């Protein structure tokens, strides 16, 4: 009996320690005015994206949910309207696994919307397979689709000044590796049906997010537009520690392993959205453009996530893959 009580005490103590340190919550205190401003959130129909949309709609922003699934987006809009009273929400179809869809979205947006103040590259997935254009699904959706979307909307972001681009990365970037020669030949940064294979591909795509933001900041110098990459947890926590639908594409047995742990330790979407909201709303962080934020604070990153040469080469390759050069 004593040993059971001792074990329970150790488990409870470990849980309290983790939730107060590695998994501690943070709160966005940014209060920049967004009433009358226009926001695009990719994947804004669920999880962190929906929580972000709800907060910004409550503050009076015009929120555009850029999503693949119309039914889920319209359900999310109805929920947000009911909770906030806002009527300035709009669904626009966007499939990041199709460069044609990304171009169509950007074209429609530029024709119908007069301004863009905040672009939140929120959507992401863990899965295996290929995009419509033949790219690895994680590289194509998590990086390349967002790269093209941002590229096509940059001039509109610059028009009113003070625009921001927030891209969701992950602590998984730490385990990422980018082989540009293999990418040029295979059109992916890792694939395979085993968990470790597409998790590695996910890590690689998250490193792309980091390098993209690093290079974008350099290219935005001289403009009033800034950019930030974010994760939803504190610096020492593992990747994917927000309870979202990120793992909706993995197999049933993998979910059986992931879900109980997620419910025990991982953040809910509202808590997970706080760093995104911080980078969207906090005044005075403009000098930190290009930096990586976690727990509502700028963090130092591994050297390979701020490699100027690799960031520039990835940008150039991404342009070619998108048919921009």
* Residue carrying structure tokens 């792309």: 208
Please tell me the predicted confidence (pLDDT) of residue 287. Answer: 97
Q: DSSP assignment, residue 135?
A: S
Please tell me the predicted confidence (pLDDT) of residue 242. Answer: 44
Contact 55, 254 (CB under 8 A): no
CATH superfamily of 26-322: NAD(P)-binding Rossmann-like Domain (3.40.50.720)
In degrees and rounded to multiples of 5, residue 135 shows phi and psi of -85, 155
Please tell me the predicted confidence (pLDDT) of residue 266. Answer: 53
Contact 70, 92 (CB under 8 A): no
Distances in Å between the alpha carbon of 163 and those of 24, 41, 107, 229?
A: 30, 14, 19, 15
Distances in Å between the alpha carbon of 99 and those of 69, 131, 140, 141, 146?
A: 17, 9, 9, 10, 10
| Segments making up each domain of the chain, as ranges | 26-322
Q: What is the CA radius of gyration of the chain?
A: 19
From CA 17, how far away is CA 20, in angstroms rounded? 5
Catalytic residue among 91, 151, 173, 202, which?
Answer: 202
119: left (phi over 0), alpha (psi -120 to 50) or beta: beta
- Sheet of 226-230, strands arranged across: 89-93, 62-67, 38-42, 118-121, 164-168, 226-230, 292-294, 297-299
Contact 212, 315 (CB under 8 A): yes
Using alpha carbons only, what angle is made at residue 121 by residues 137 and 226, rounded to the nearest 5 degrees? 135
* Residue carrying structure tokens 């979910």: 255
Contact 297, 233 (CB under 8 A): no
pTM score: 0.86
Please tell me the predicted confidence (pLDDT) of residue 137. Answer: 95
Strands 292-294 and 297-299: antiparallel
Cα dihedral across residues 196, 248, 279, 213: positive or negative: positive
| pLDDT, averaged in runs of 10, over the chain (325 residues) | 61 54 71 95 96 97 97 97 97 98 98 98 92 96 98 96 95 94 88 73 96 98 96 45 47 51 62 95 97 96 97 97 94
Collapsing DSSP states into helix, strand and coil, what is residue 109? helix
Q: Is 173 a catalytic residue?
A: no
Structure tokens at 42: 């990719």
């Amino acid at each position: 009996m004593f040993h059971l009580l001792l074990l329970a005490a150790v488990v409870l103590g470990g849980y309290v320690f983790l939730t107060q340190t590695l998994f501690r919550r943070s709160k966005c205190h940014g209060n920049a005015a967004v009433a009358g401003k226009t926001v695009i959130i990719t994947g804004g129909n669920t999880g962190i994206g929906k929580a972000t949309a709800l907060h910004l709609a409550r503050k009076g922003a015009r929120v555009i949910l850029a999503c693949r699934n119309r039914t889920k987006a319209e359900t999310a809009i109805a929920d947000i309207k009911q909770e906030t009273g806002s009527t300035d929400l709009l669904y626009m179809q966007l499939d990041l696994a199709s460069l044609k869809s990304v171009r169509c979205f950007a074209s429609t947006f530029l024709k119908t919307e007069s301004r863009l103040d905040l672009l939140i590259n929120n959507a992401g997935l863990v899965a295996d397979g290929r995009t419509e254009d033949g790219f690895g699904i994680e590289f194509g959706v998590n990086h390349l689709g967002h790269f093209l979307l941002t590229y096509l909307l940059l001039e509109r972001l610059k028009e009113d000044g003070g625009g921001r681009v927030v891209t969701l990365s992950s602590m998984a970037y730490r385990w990422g590796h980018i082989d540009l020669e293999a990418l040029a030949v295979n059109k992916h940064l890792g694939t395979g049906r085993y968990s470790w294979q597409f998790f590695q591909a996910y890590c690689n795509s998250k490193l792309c997010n980091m390098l993209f933001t690093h290079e974008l900041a350099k290219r935005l110098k001289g403009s009033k537009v800034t950019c930030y990459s974010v994760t939803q947890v504190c610096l020492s926590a593992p990747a994917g520690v927000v309870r979202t639908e990120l793992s909706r594409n993995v197999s049933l047995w993998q979910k059986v392993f992931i879900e109980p742990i997620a419910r025990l330790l991982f953040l809910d979407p509202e808590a997970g959205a706080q760093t995104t909201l911080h980078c969207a709303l906090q005044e005075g962080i403009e000098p930190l453009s290009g930096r990586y934020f976690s727990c509502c604070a700028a963090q130092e990153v591994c050297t390979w996530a701020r490699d100027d040469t690799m960031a520039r080469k990835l940008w150039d390759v991404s342009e070619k893959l998108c048919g921009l050069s």
